[in-house]
Structure 1
Amino acid sequence: MELEQLQLELITRFSEQQLISGVISQSRSKTESAGKIKIKPVEIKGLYHIQLEYHFDQTITHENKLPSEMEETVRELLDRYRQLQMNWAGESVHIQLSKKKKVTMKRSVTDNQPPVELSHNRKKNYVLDPDVVHPFLVHLGVQTKDGKIKNQKHDKFKQINRFVEFVEDSLAYLPTDQPLRIIDFGSGKSYLTFALYYYLKELKGYEVNITGLDLKKDVIAHCEKLARELQYDGLHFKVGDITDYNNVQQVDMVVTLHACDVATDMALGRAVKWGARVILSVPCCQHELFTQLDSPALAVMTRHGLIKERFASLATDSIRAQVLDLVGYETQLVEFVDLENTPKNILIRAYYTGAQPKPETIAETKAFVAFLQAKPFLVNELQEELKGVLT
């Protein structure tokens, strides 16, 4: 098959709504393109769309297009990628493009495919089934005793499930031959801490030892009482601060949600020093870089306080992700929903791989920090682990 014929076939199949799912991979450019792109059909406001999910090293983004808008997209994708796995109604097709864009295609018939669910309003497959009684959710006031999600708690239930999804994605990086040691800094009312224990211990059967830390004595006392009522023997709550918690030498997972300003950096630094395999962190109130930004090239942004604040926040999280990559983690910045106010927030998700930092990662991090004329707290916190790569 010629390249032009392949383009026409893809465009036609998209317009005829034959798509079940697809994955596009093997980018011709390793620096600019997403590592892979997942494709699926979705229904938005009653209209059929093609959703493209772009997987970069540290971020995942989405783009929704009408079938009529796919022609140029198809041409661009075939120009930038060498492999496609497309699942159409009744047929699966593997497509390989050579360096000179010669097309090789393998087709196979697929029978009994389930119909594609397009509606965004369909029942979601939650990790925590809303039709099952979860004792900790009853005690926390999210569910009634007969297992119904309370009307005013539906958003909270969704948010708890979103967090559990992140935990589920992390399982491959956690050890299975020993009890898991987990620290939750700034656990607060501990909806997510209880969910973490319930999912790992009750649903997955892991042996766990989880400690929730917070400075509010009354909140800690309430959570500790609830943990004892639920007979969660591996879950404990203590009054404590990130800076003075030195009771352990090694931790498998560190969770920190809404630790204010450099408290997030302190938690990230402590997690790295403990050798944490998984880090899940939702930063809050990043003020550190706000007073440091002094690049003339940014004047059109920094003269506006609101814009400067938002840019400083994004720059802070970008640097955090880069620094974690430099000390052996695979890091992504993904969307997370705040438990109280429900705006979309950034969650730093980092898995330890032990990979040595790439020269280009070192170079671009140095250049970015120099451009901002910044002195990031986390860089100073991890001087020993960074081994001078940013100096």
Structure 2
Amino acid sequence: MNLIKASRDFLLKPLQIVNGIVERRHTLPILSNVFIKQENGKIVFVTTDLEIEIETYLQTSETVISKEFSALTVSSKKMLEILRTFSSDTEVTLAKVDNRLQINAIKSRFSLQILPADDFPRMPKEEMPESTLTLSQQNLKDLLHLVQYAVAQQDIRYYLNGLLLLIEGKHLKFIATDSHRLSYASIELEDEWERKETIIPRKTVQELSKLLNETEEPVIIEVFPKKIRFAFSDIVLTSKVIEGKFPDFNRAIPVNNTKQFSINRQSFLQGLQRVAILSNANEKFRGVRLVISNGMLSIVCKNSEQEEAQEDLEIDYQQDTIDISFNINYLLDVLNNLNSDSVQCAFENANSSTLITIPKNDHFKYVVMPMRL
């Protein structure tokens, strides 16, 4: 029985959208599957890993759909890989034969195992969110880009393995920290809001960043007590949130760093990239020394073979000499993810945290702790 007849691209696009969260190996085989159903003149594609659910809709105007087709589940990755092998204008037919999904195209035929659609776990629909915000996709994508690299990975303090979304007054703030560095970005809202904190898991943030477009089209953010939902471009991403109390990030942001200099971001980045060649690449924490003196920033890297690289950059600085060391990856991360022409570095001494900001911009802050070499 033929279920769907459509172009290859019609079926490929939604699979590419929902496939990102699918795990190859899972204790529940059905979680490797995509749930496909017909609903109100649309075809719906859904995947889940029990923590995140991604759903996308496609209009069926250019597609032939059997009235007998209701729902099925089939391996998401296998179906995706099969469709990728055909050219974009290939007509594909999905048919159900002997309780298997048959994919027919040109002279090719693939028979895939299907599992009962009723067994596919869906996240329950919640009626009323506690907060609902609307941003452009571009603004949300930019905010995530500015902070997500500082989210901890598999930290025993589970609340650090996510990004804090904070609604406060007329500001939406995103904060991430792994306790060695902290990134903060904010945007002004039109309306006044009650304070609301939500910790979004790392995997959700990564997937959301990939799916958002660089456009002014809206994304609706709905915050529930234990979930958060993002709706945009016929995509709905729903995620459980991390329960717990995020640390007070305001205490980590230094306000009295009196020594500071501004520097061209690209020059600073390229200098770090060059000296990093002689750092200990196999070590998790690669150290770099910054020697700040009158009119000069010296970037120094050494490795276990006693090799050394040094880059000297001119800066406008006339205060005490400071010799401070950092994990070079932490500096490369922030400079790679900013798009400003220059950055400002403020510090107090070799043992205190350094604040990196964008000149004349209060909406971004990056705090990095020094390390001992």
TM-score (norm 2): 0.24
Bigger RCO (CA 8 Å, 6+ sep):
2
TM-score (norm 1): 0.23
Whichever structure has more helix as a proportion of its residues is 1
